[in-house]
Structure 1
Amino acid sequence: MTNPRLYLPKPREAVGNYLRIISINDVYDINNYPYVETVIKSLKETSEDAVVIACLSGDFLSPCLITSLDGGKAMLDVLKVVNIDYICLGNHEFDVTVDVLGERFKTYEGKCLNSNILDLPIVDASGQLLPKYDIVEVGSRRVAFAGFCTSKINTFRPGANITIQPIFDALKETWSKCSNDATMLIPLTHQTIAEDRELATGIEQDDQLSGKVPIIVGGHEHEIYIEKIERSLIVKAGADATNVVVVDVWWDASEQWHSAVHLLPATH
């Protein structure tokens, strides 16, 4: 028996192509991944005029029983099966050592965006250091995605010898590097909701960033959050993919962008 295809309509005011983001975060077991795979596959097949991007905002390896046995191999491999496009690092990725994390990523063919952990000696399957950002074409528009991990080192396992740039500083630096190639920035963040709210406020008050960040795709908390702060919509799906968040970003006939969110509970 095949799973029924999921369909969400194109926003009525959308003109031309639009961006559809599928988001989960903090996944510590594989029970709901078949549902996530169905959502991603269905929406990539049925979303008319959409560029569909699937994201996981940190804590995709640990704490997890499987990772305690294989150092994160299975939990990283499943992301390819599910077809996650972008991930960012969370504090619990460093429950395994940096050396083990580096070995795991040598075979990872997806894109892990690392915009604020400095001098991290980890390469992916291409042999390149983890990218600071990546750009997606949405019709004639170009949208940058970036990934930011909490800088609160006290949330990491003792002995994690890493240096982390504060997220707002790193976000400004990332935008300065990609703004010539993109008109919009979508940050994946792994920090508290209070910090995401503060980030959204800082974005709106910054002359270069104001109006450029429609969505903050968040993680770290295990509860659902869907909040509009200034002009940025903050979304967190809760833990273990018990829910999947889908966010649409589109442009109207006046070239103004808009956003809307769908919350899809996992069903069995």
Structure 2
Amino acid sequence: MRFVNMMRTAGAAAVLSIALSATALAESVKVTFVLTNDTYEMNEEKGRGGFPRLATVIKQERAANANTLFVHAGDLLSPSLFSGFDQGEHMMVLTNMVGIDVMAPGNHEFDFGKDVAMKRLSESKYPWLAANMTQADGSPVPGISATMMKEFGGVKVGVIGLAEETTDVLSSPGDLKFSSAVDAAAAKAKELKEAGADFVVAINHNIREIGQKLVDGAVVDLTLNGHNHDLWLFYNGRSAAIESGSD
């Protein structure tokens, strides 16, 4: 991969453009990743609310490049002020409107319990991915996939979702089980590559050390991080990681 431009911030999001190539293509394809995460509150700026600013960012990025993936890296349903009244329902309405493409659930998705999280999932117009989360018997959680494949101009991008490994300690997910994010990412990245992925992205809602392991071990090509609440960009010549901060 080749960075077309390094990460830049735009309102509540981080934007990264990368030139990707596939074996069958003579020229590379520019793909833009727009990341937001840990949406606890969306404060107004110069009289403009947070979600309108976010909607403007994604509208502008998609107008500039149709090959754009808009990602939420978790912690959406809680603990915003209004979520205490409607258990995150308003967040689903707003994120459906701004056009998120895919999300990995954070630990705060389960603050109101498993049943509420599943209800919010049913209201979502975009997929939730979590490769390291299962039901008590080890079977997949209904409505949540481990991965997805997107194609941009002939380049196949595999996407893996990674939930917070300690969600059962930090929140209230009921009988859901959480396993190693790094191990799950490695297994699913291999499957995606075998299925034809030219580039593999992990949406990772975990502590920074886990994001760093994904990069250092070249487990995936790009890690889109949440959970840590600070701006981060790391590139070692092989793999990259970004996080937009929070709110």
After TM superposition, is the score higher than 0.5?
yes
Task: Work out whether residues 190 and 218 of structure 1, in 8 Å CA contact, stay in contact via their aligned partners in 2.
Answer: yes
4+ aligned runs moved over 4 Å, structure 1: 10-14, 120-123
Kindly tell me: are residues 70 and 115 of structure 1, through their superposed partners in 2, closer, same or farther at Cα, counting changes over 3 Å? same
Q: Does 1:40 align with 2:58?
A: yes
Provide the rounded CA distance (Å) in 1 between the counterparts of 2:147 and 2:20.
Answer: 29
- TM-score of the aligned structures, taking structure 2 as reference length: 0.80
Provide the rounded CA distance (Å) in 1 between the counterparts of 2:213 and 2:19.
Answer: 32
Provide the rounded CA distance (Å) in 1 between the counterparts of 2:57 and 2:103.
Answer: 17
Shift of 1:108: 1.4
Question: Which position in structure 1 is the counterpart of 2:229?
Answer: 222
Provide the rounded CA distance (Å) in 1 between the counterparts of 2:18 and 2:167.
Answer: 41
Question: Which position in structure 2 is the counterpart of 1:68?
Answer: 84
Question: Which position in structure 1 is the counterpart of 2:191?
Answer: 177
Question: Which position in structure 2 is the counterpart of 1:59?
Answer: 75
Shift of 1:168: 1.1
Kindly tell me: are residues 159 and 226 of structure 1, through their superposed partners in 2, closer, same or farther at Cα, counting changes over 3 Å? closer
% same residue: 24
Kindly tell me: are residues 63 and 45 of structure 1, through their superposed partners in 2, closer, same or farther at Cα, counting changes over 3 Å? same
Question: Which position in structure 2 is the counterpart of 1:27?
Answer: 39
Question: Which position in structure 1 is the counterpart of 2:3?
Answer: none
Provide the rounded CA distance (Å) in 1 between the counterparts of 2:181 and 2:214.
Answer: 8
Task: Work out whether residues 168 and 178 of structure 2, in 8 Å CA contact, stay in contact via their aligned partners in 1.
Answer: no
Give runs of aligned pairs for residues 82-97 of structure 1, distance below 5 A: 82-97=98-113
Task: Work out whether residues 196 and 218 of structure 1, in 8 Å CA contact, stay in contact via their aligned partners in 2.
Answer: yes
Question: Which position in structure 2 is the counterpart of 1:149?
Answer: 163
Question: Which position in structure 2 is the counterpart of 1:193?
Answer: 208
Provide the rounded CA distance (Å) in 2 between the counterparts of 1:91 and 1:154.
Answer: 8
Kindly tell me: are residues 11 and 98 of structure 1, through their superposed partners in 2, closer, same or farther at Cα, counting changes over 3 Å? closer
- Which amino acid in the other structure matches residue 27 of structure 1? T
Provide the rounded CA distance (Å) in 1 between the counterparts of 2:186 and 2:230.
Answer: 28
Provide the rounded CA distance (Å) in 1 between the counterparts of 2:152 and 2:173.
Answer: 42
Provide the rounded CA distance (Å) in 1 between the counterparts of 2:221 and 2:187.
Answer: 18
Provide the rounded CA distance (Å) in 2 between the counterparts of 1:133 and 1:105.
Answer: 16
Q: Which runs of 5+ in 2 are unaligned?
A: 1-14, 22-26, 44-49
Provide the rounded CA distance (Å) in 1 between the counterparts of 2:56 and 2:145.
Answer: 28
Q: Deviations over 1:136-168 (max 9, x none)?
A: 112122111111012124651257432112011
RCO comparison, higher one (Cα < 8 Å, 6+): 1
- TM-score of the aligned structures, taking structure 1 as reference length: 0.74
Shift of 1:182: 1.1
Task: Work out whether residues 113 and 131 of structure 1, in 8 Å CA contact, stay in contact via their aligned partners in 2.
Answer: yes
Q: Does 1:234 align with 2:234?
A: no
Provide the rounded CA distance (Å) in 2 between the counterparts of 1:148 and 1:155.
Answer: 16
Task: Work out whether residues 204 and 223 of structure 2, in 8 Å CA contact, stay in contact via their aligned partners in 1.
Answer: yes
Kindly tell me: are residues 176 and 65 of structure 1, through their superposed partners in 2, closer, same or farther at Cα, counting changes over 3 Å? same
Q: Which runs of 5+ in 1 are unaligned?
A: 1-7, 124-128, 204-208, 241-268
Q: Secondary structure at the match of 1:28?
A: coil
Moved more, 177-186 or 36-45: 177-186
Provide the rounded CA distance (Å) in 2 between the counterparts of 1:226 and 1:85.
Answer: 22
Shift of 1:134: 1.1
Provide the rounded CA distance (Å) in 1 between the counterparts of 2:152 and 2:165.
Answer: 31
- Which amino acid in the other structure matches residue 190 of structure 1? H
Provide the rounded CA distance (Å) in 1 between the counterparts of 2:234 and 2:156.
Answer: 25
